[in-house]
Amino acid sequence: MPNENTSRSSIQCWLALKLVSRLAIHKKIKLVASIGIKSLFSQTFPHKSLIKHGLSSKQISMIKSPNWHKVDEIIASSALCKSRILTFDDPLYSDLLKQIYDPPLVLFVQGNPTLINQSQLAIVGSRGASFSGLEFAFKISSQLVNENLIVTSGLALGIDGQAHKGALAIEKKTIAVVATGLDQIYPKSHRQLANKILSAGGAIVSEFIPGTTPRPGHFPKRNRIISGLSLGVLVVEATLKSGSLITARSAIEQNRDVFAVPSSLSNPQGEGCHWLIQQGAKLVTQCADIVCELDFSDQPSLNLRSEKDLTEKSQTNKEKSINKDLFIDPLLASVGYETTPVDVVVSRSELPIEEVLTRLTMLELKGVVCAVPGGYLRLNRG
């Protein structure tokens, strides 16, 4: 009897892996890197090898006996809402998004999937923004898309919606990353806006399968994708406990540029932006403040690493706290003089991805490597 898994597509296998519960995303990616996505779901793959990878008996059972019916339902539902499924190994999957600690294994994309890999600037902010905040978001979005940047946001009320509208106002494309399945719109009042985004050649993106309803825990997950897709994040009005600050923190963890717009001191919606500026975020009053920073691709504009060290913007000051031995760090051998993706550095160095990201950050601060689109580049100083 032929093995029923031999005819399974790569998309089916990635979805089956997505359904494996209580296994962290970075561990799933490491598993695929070691075994191969189709080999992983082959009935002939040794059970003992999965045990050696630290999988529980339940996880092994979900890999050896996947719920193919559920997988096929997801694919059919995705087709019904006219979305394309981009897997982690798809050529259209974002190179920048692959660099984050926990990139989604699968993205569902309505509209133009080729936008995902284009240069993006995220604009986020308060749902209850002031009139001036809404006006600024609309205006700067229109200016940024004229600089050949795609504006990415979360389709939420307030600043997010205005960011999308600013791009659409001059007939440019924009990306909305949502926290629901693509068969529904949240908030419902933005259904027309979502349709306009698609009609203008933009895209709506989600990691959630069709049928997924909005839940509080989904929005932080959505936010890491917004920042992960983008070169930087611009925060336009946010309280200190807002989701926009979560997006900014995700950007910091992902080594992205962070920008913030100052507000009146009497505006409670500006407290989050003022806090970010105090910690070293780039103060923005006009489009040029962002574009000029992004032009310096060899030197990120914001080097925020921890709340204890957020005020130390000067690379000179930071160097004092860095071990001098970094200049001869063996990790350097894993970074080439051509763009080297983070997953390649991990593979070459055989180090955990958490350690690789930390040490790359320190090497970057030392001026030995620099972050570039698609990975890291070794500088001649090493």
**CATH number, domain with residue 329:** 1.10.10
Please indicate, yes or no, whether residues 208 and 283 belong to a single structural domain of this protein.
Answer: yes
Query: What pTM was computed for the model?
Result: 0.76
Please indicate, yes or no, whether residues 321 and 286 belong to a single structural domain of this protein.
Answer: no
Residue 199 lies in a domain: yes
Please indicate, yes or no, whether residues 222 and 263 belong to a single structural domain of this protein.
Answer: yes
Please indicate, yes or no, whether residues 75 and 173 belong to a single structural domain of this protein.
Answer: no
Residue 103 lies in a domain: no
Please indicate, yes or no, whether residues 147 and 262 belong to a single structural domain of this protein.
Answer: yes
Please indicate, yes or no, whether residues 34 and 71 belong to a single structural domain of this protein.
Answer: yes
Residue 306 lies in a domain: no
Please indicate, yes or no, whether residues 156 and 34 belong to a single structural domain of this protein.
Answer: no
pLDDT value for 323: 35
Please indicate, yes or no, whether residues 284 and 349 belong to a single structural domain of this protein.
Answer: no
Please indicate, yes or no, whether residues 115 and 255 belong to a single structural domain of this protein.
Answer: yes
Q: Compute how many other C-beta atoms are within 10 angstroms of the C-beta atom of residue 61.
A: 13
pLDDT value for 165: 98
Residues spanned by the domain of 253: 108-295
Q: Tell me how many domains the chain contains.
A: 3
Please indicate, yes or no, whether residues 113 and 217 belong to a single structural domain of this protein.
Answer: yes
pLDDT value for 380: 61
Residue 273 lies in a domain: yes
Residue 367 lies in a domain: yes
Please indicate, yes or no, whether residues 267 and 328 belong to a single structural domain of this protein.
Answer: no
Please indicate, yes or no, whether residues 198 and 285 belong to a single structural domain of this protein.
Answer: yes
Picking from 266, 295, 324, the residue at the C-terminal end of a domain is 295
- Render each residue's pLDDT in the chain as its tens digit; 382 residues: 344 445 799 999 999 999 999 999 999 999 999 999 999 998 788 878 888 888 999 999 999 999 999 999 999 999 999 999 999 999 999 999 999 999 999 999 999 999 999 999 999 999 999 999 999 999 999 999 999 999 999 999 999 999 999 999 999 999 999 999 999 999 999 999 999 999 999 999 999 999 999 999 999 999 999 999 999 999 999 998 889 999 999 999 999 999 999 998 888 899 999 999 998 999 999 999 999 888 534 333 343 333 333 333 334 333 333 333 333 466 777 887 778 888 888 887 888 887 888 788 878 777 778 888 888 887 764 3
CA–CA distance, 14 with 40 (Å, rounded to integer): 10
pLDDT value for 306: 36
pLDDT value for 266: 81
